[in-house]
Amino acid sequence: MDMIASLVNGGWDFSLESWINNETSNWIYSQLPNPYPNLRNETWIETDLLWSLCCKQSWQIQLCVPLIIIIILIIFIHLRYSRKGESSRTSAATNIPDVSNWSVFDLAKTAYQPGHTEAIMMLVDQFGYDVNYVIPSTGLSLFLCTCLSGERAAIQYMLKKGADVGSTSQDGDTPLYLATFGILNSAMPDVAVIMDLIEAGCDVNKANSRGYTPLHRAASKGSVPVIKCLLLYGADPYQASQAGVLPIGNAINAGNLQAAEFLKIHIDNPHVWEVVDPHTPPRIQLGLQSPQRKHLVESSRPNKTFSILT
């Protein structure tokens, strides 16, 4: 070991002495081709001056040079990878649209549009919006606006943020009613939204101020998957609106006979229309006047031959 140490120390002393005497640089330049003697001589003189300033100093200064180079390399690598991280974050942020001119409530109503759900989450997390705060002008909270969109990911996010499933709009529309409306107006209704809200505590048979339930809304649209889902979770096909309209009446008068098959009811009174449909004016019953479209849809009198009894 002593021999190895002496060899190392001897090699270091020799290298140090070589640099100080500028012998190494002289040897290097002697090995280079010499197409331009004058230029090489001038370069040699400049190199000697450089070594006289730098290398002919103490060995501590010579050690600082590679250390400085290493530090510069480390800084360069760090900056390079940090810029890569920023670029990746920027590319991820490009999925979120420019929402500077949007209110968070408008974003919630259109959460089904690309990037809007992510924008809502970002704003709620950043500014701490209360998802149950109600806008006086509309009577809708951020949660109810999100339900209106029918977007499952956004609704699940609101539920995690403490959304009140017992809240209603000014018209008494429940979160489940609004979500049913939202998914029925989407290209592909996602019944999982209904399941999420019911399992979170929404009452499947709670009606709005006019007595309409989510089942009425699904019957009007004729969506069989939504009707089946609501019935599976206990929706009542016998529950009539304040106008006396049953869900099957909504389905029949909207021409959704396939949906009406799942909404058939049993009534003992043979004069069913005297019980179910007392609100239809006599002049319409006698065929003296064509009803308005609104009355036709809300009326439970069938406009086609169809048996509603089981």
**Which sequence spans correspond to the domains of the chain?**
100-197, 204-265
pLDDT of residue 284: 44
pLDDT of residue 63: 64
Cα–Cα distance list, 184 to 51, 209, 222 (Å):
83, 21, 9
- Distance separating alpha carbons of residues 151 and 181, to the nearest angstrom: 11
- Give the torsion through C-alpha atoms of 269, 273, 278, 280, to 10 deg: 180
Coil/strand/helix, residue 32:
coil
pTM of the model: 0.60
Residue 59 CB-density burial (10 A; 0-12 exposed, 13-18 middle, 19+ buried): middle
Q: Is the C-alpha dihedral spanning 101, 104, 106, 107 positive or negative? A: positive
Cα–Cα distance list, 105 to 47, 116, 119, 137 (Å):
72, 11, 11, 12
Token look-up 């290298």 returns 15
pLDDT of residue 36: 46
Per-residue pLDDT of the chain (310 residues; tens, 9 = 90+): 454 445 445 544 544 455 445 454 454 445 545 544 554 455 555 555 555 555 545 555 566 667 778 888 888 787 776 665 554 444 344 556 666 678 899 999 999 999 999 999 999 999 999 999 998 888 999 999 999 999 999 999 999 999 999 999 999 999 999 999 999 998 888 999 999 999 999 999 999 999 999 999 999 999 999 999 999 999 999 999 999 999 999 999 899 999 999 999 877 665 555 555 555 555 444 444 444 545 445 544 445 445 555 5
pLDDT of residue 145: 96
pLDDT of residue 71: 85
If one looks up domain 204-265 in CATH, what number appears?
1.25.40.20
Instruction: Report the amino acid identity of residue 104.
Output: V
pLDDT of residue 238: 93
Tell me the two tokens of residue 259. 């949906």
pLDDT of residue 83: 60
Tell me the two tokens of residue 43. 């370069």
Quick check: do 100-197 and 204-265 share a fold? yes
pLDDT of residue 272: 54
- Which residues, 6 or more positions from 219, have their beta carbon under 8 angstroms from its beta carbon? 227, 247, 248, 249, 250, 251, 254, 256, 259, 260, 263
Residue 48 CB-density burial (10 A; 0-12 exposed, 13-18 middle, 19+ buried): middle
**Element (DSSP H or E) covering residue 189:** none
- Which residues, 6 or more positions from 147, have their beta carbon under 8 angstroms from its beta carbon? 155, 158, 175, 176, 178, 179, 182, 197
Instruction: Report the amino acid identity of residue 246.
Output: L
pLDDT of residue 12: 47
Coil/strand/helix, residue 36:
coil
Superfamily of domain 100-197: Ankyrin repeat-containing domain (1.25.40.20)
Region class of 162: left (phi > 0), else alpha (psi between -120 and 50), else beta: left
Cα–Cα distance list, 257 to 151, 166, 250, 252, 254 (Å):
28, 33, 10, 6, 8
Q: Closest Cα to residue 63, out of 19, 32, 127? A: 19
pLDDT of residue 69: 82
